[in-house]
Each structure stands twice: as C-alpha cells, then as structure tokens.
Amino acid sequence: MTTKEIACRIYHAEEAVDAYSKTFKLLILRHFNLHVSAMARVLANAKP
C-alpha cells in the first residue's frame, strides 16, 4: 500500500503518514537493539 493510499484511507496528510512510518521504523530498530549508527544507515537507505 502506498503512502497516498494510506493517507486517503485514514484521512491524514501524506506527510503525517511518512512521519509516523519513519518513527515506527526507528522504534522497531531500537526494539532489536540496533546500534545508532546502523539505524542511521538503515533509515537513510530505506525506500518510501
């Protein structure tokens, strides 16, 4: 499902969905105790 589809379905702006998604990814990486520098690499290389 695309960001646009999610935003439309939940009546939020695409930017809000992107922000939530990035935060959620960060929390998942933190949950698995990934080192901060590795988190930065993973998030920088993530595709929307």
Coil, helix or strand for 1?
A: coil
- Considering its fold, how many domains does the chain have in total? 1
pLDDT tens readout for residues 13-47: 999 999 999 899 889 988 999 888 888 888 787 65
Q: pTM score, two decimals?
A: 0.66
Is the Cα dihedral 33, 39, 28, 23 positive or negative?
A: positive
Place of tokens 């998030």: 43
Q: Provide the domain limits for residue 18.
A: 3-45
Separation of CA 43 from chain center:
8
Average of per-residue pLDDT across 6-11: 96
| Cα distance between residue 20 and residue 11, in whole Å | 14
Say how many residues make up the chain: 48
